[in-house]
Chain A
Amino acid sequence: MSNLTLFSVSDLLVTVLLTAIASIFPEPIRGWLTNPDLLLGLACLVFGALLLAASMLNTILLIWWERKLLGRFMDRRGAMHVGFAGLLQNFADGFKLFKKDTVQPREADALGFYAGPTIYMVTSLVLFGILPISSGWNSGALPLTLLLALAVFSFAPLFIFVSAWSSNNKYSLMGGMRSAAQMIAYEVPLLLAVVAVVIVAGSFDLTTIVYEQQNYWFWGPLFLALLVFVAGMLAEMERIPFDLPEAEAELVEGWNTEYGGMLFAFFMLADYLRALVGSILVVLLFLGGWTLPTWVPAAFTSFPLAGIFWFMVKTYLVFGLFVWIRASLPRVRTDQLLRVGWNRMIPLSLLSVFLAAVLVTAKCLPVFGCVPSPGG
């Protein structure tokens, strides 16, 4: 059970299926069908398709979760009528967008206008191939998954800016400018907060980072880093209070003003994909990933897919926190946001790096216990 990964499952699936199909064909075709390279390629495809389905399903569920939570915060009920408790409402909305025409403004630059949302969507999806959801999820041993994830995550402002600029609308352009400025300003403290985690865990591999948290989760000793990380994540996800790039009060819809139909759905989905990635990263880096503390009875951790279950519970709770923030705070202004980003967040994140270094040097903490030796 423990060495059963998602990839091995899809590999097994493809092998069994193709062998069964091949058995009814004569020899040369049977040989081609059971070619190990073909099997490997198909297994990769199935693996990708499973990831895609899982991430999209989760994203849509995340939107439902946000709508329900927001509804409760606002003293109403949220989506109710399509499906049980409105679970199918987002599918209905998505289908409506799917049926709509995509209107390209007359003087928009076609390449940027279409490539922008597409690549934004793709880069957001790529992240799900990297993040380990549970011990058996990861595709293989990549030593630098954290770095890769953050690198791909930071592609977004570029493509937001490309699509904003090429849609030839002043509001889009202003939204794109704001988005680029904001994401670049908050990338730095975000990465520095991650550095604090890396120092303590001694690894860039997300799986290792999770297993380093078996004594205590990092949110306690690295609380400052967690705060900086969550604030930076809010800015990266462009959620209230940092949703200036699409501040609907002044910029209509910000950088996606000119987008409609499926292209808008791409932006919308990618936004929530990134929100999901943000919550997942918080869980992985600070909340012990799919593990539970050792004092939890074994019954809670031993049922099938327990890792994924607890991981999802944590992720949705973290996202619930983001929704809570969204429901209760007003939006800040661009100059205030940037000032806070450069003047406050970066010193704080540097301080958190320093605290992490102190923690590693001191080896043990009175409350939290001892750090495992760096590198596992």
Chain B
Amino acid sequence: MSEMWINMGPQHPMTHGLWNLRVKIEGELILDVDPEMGYLHRGIEKISEDRHYNEVITLMDRTCYVAGLAWEHLYILAAEDALHITPPERAEYLRTMCDEFQRVGSHIMWYAAFVQDLGLMSPFLYGMRDRDLVLDLFQSYTGARMTYEYMRVGGVRSDLPLGFTDRARRVLDWLTARFVEYDQLCLGSAIFRKRCDGLGVLKATDCVEHGVTGPMLRSAGMKRDLRRDRPYAVYDQLDFDVAVADGADVTARYLVRMEELRQSVRMLRQILDWLDRHPGPAMAEELPRWLGAPYAPVGKEGYLLKRNYPKGVGFSSVEEPHGEAQAYVVNEGTEHPYRVKFRSPVFANISAARQYLVGYHVADIPPIMGSVDVCVGEVDR
């Protein structure tokens, strides 16, 4: 076969979303790739400028549909920074719990999609089955399984239901046992190692040059994790290790994510214990009324009567399951953010595709792109 360009996407099983990977191949060999994004652009940043601070949270769930709570947290941190609001400590713990449960859910979803790309059929359903337990937990305290709208400027919407921590611990016990099974099905398989070892190598220097973050960066031996390096919420009070591997290949990314799952479980146990011991308010007390209720009737405390609220600029960066996400919120003293800007880690990770795809085979594209963990919702925003 002579050289030709093929379009892997926008509708292709490899993409796990809506984007297009143009691949130049000769036979089965990849000569060049050209990732094209933008099919899922919804203008979330622009829409945000037209919404009240708390209404933007609805959009955050739609940026990354497998890690909605992490993105909510990202935005809330920046918005609170811009609005000079400090949440109560229990809210911080609840948000951290959300983050880590979201990481568990997202990584399990990643595992399921990744092994499916390799042709492993059963672990895909095992992953989906186990992720469902996490979703059940979300449902029990946020009311939703995917679009949670749980966090608020100044705290979280509601506290945990009765008996939640015990349920959560049981789920964590179950998951810990399942992670062993996951490893047996993947690392225990000679075919898996043959497929994944030395595949899609992206060295640490290349990662830095292309702004690649998250598990991909850590799999290249670089010990960088925002939860440790720039702790937000209550991560500085938790005991955990940063997962690192040094292969820089698909297997290394697998190892990093599996270790992160274990570390997340470890953190969650600490958080659940803390939550059991420290009841308290989950919402800041002295919030301006217009923040709490965007459509409150016009009155003495209504949002129209807001006067002279201090201006501010908020910035936050969060280690979401796919990498380092950043948010920038400008508060000009009105009910709406003046400007909202996000940095999506997956956008940078996909953009470097040429670095880790060229030279491998067509059959390697799904496992490599699977190991990147693509979530197109946040790429295009």
Contact = CB atoms under 8 A, between A and B. Distances in A.
Interface of A: 70, 73-76, 170-171, 173-174, 177, 240-241, 243-244, 247-252, 326-336
Contacts of A241: 119, 191
Contacts of B125: 74-76
Given A73-B122, A170-B4, A330 B363 contact: no
B116 A249 contact: yes
A335 B361 contact: yes
Contacts of A73: 122
A171 B28 CA distance: 11
A333 B115 contact: no
A174 B124 CA distance: 26
A327 B118 CA distance: 12
A331 B6 CA distance: 22
Contact of B121 (A174, A250, A327): A327
Contact of A330 (B1, B13, B120): B120
B189 A333 contact: no
B12 interface: yes
A40 B1 CA distance: 51
A347 to B, nearest CB: 19
B195 A330 contact: yes
A255 to B, nearest CB: 14
A331 B62 CA distance: 33
Nearest to B118: A330
Contacts of B122: 73-75, 327-328
B121 A74 contact: yes
B192 interface: yes
Contacts of B12: 252
26 contacts: A74-B121, A74-B126, A75-B122, A170-B4, A243-B119, A244-B363, A248-B13, A249-B13, A249-B14, A249-B117, A249-B119, A250-B8, A252-B12, A327-B121, A327-B122, A328-B120, A328-B122, A328-B185, A329-B191, A330-B115, A330-B118, A331-B363, A332-B191, A333-B363, A333-B364, A335-B361
Given A332-B191, A333-B195, A336-B194, A240 B1 contact: no
Contacts of B361: 333-335
B234 interface: no
B365 interface: yes
B366 interface: yes
Given A330-B195, A332-B191, A332-B194, A247 B121 contact: no
Nearest to B115: A330
Given A333-B361, A334-B28, A336-B194, A247 B1 contact: no
B41 interface: no
Contact of B195 (A326, A328, A332): A332
B311 interface: no
A333 B199 CA distance: 12
Contacts of A336: 194-195
B195 A250 contact: no
Contacts of B121: 70, 74, 240, 326-327
A336 B191 CA distance: 10
A241 B116 CA distance: 12
A252 B363 CA distance: 12
Contacts of A76: 125
B195 A75 contact: no
Given A75-B129, A249-B116, A249-B119, A330 B191 contact: yes
A80 to B, nearest CB: 16
B362 interface: yes
Contacts of B364: 333
Contacts of B120: 328-330
A332 B191 CA distance: 6
A9 B28 CA distance: 53
Contacts of A330: 115, 118-120, 189, 191-192, 195
A247 B125 CA distance: 18
Interface in B38-55: none
Contacts of A248: 13
Nearest to A177: B1
Given A74-B121, A252-B13, A334 B363 contact: yes
B35 to A, nearest CB: 16
B9 to A, nearest CB: 11
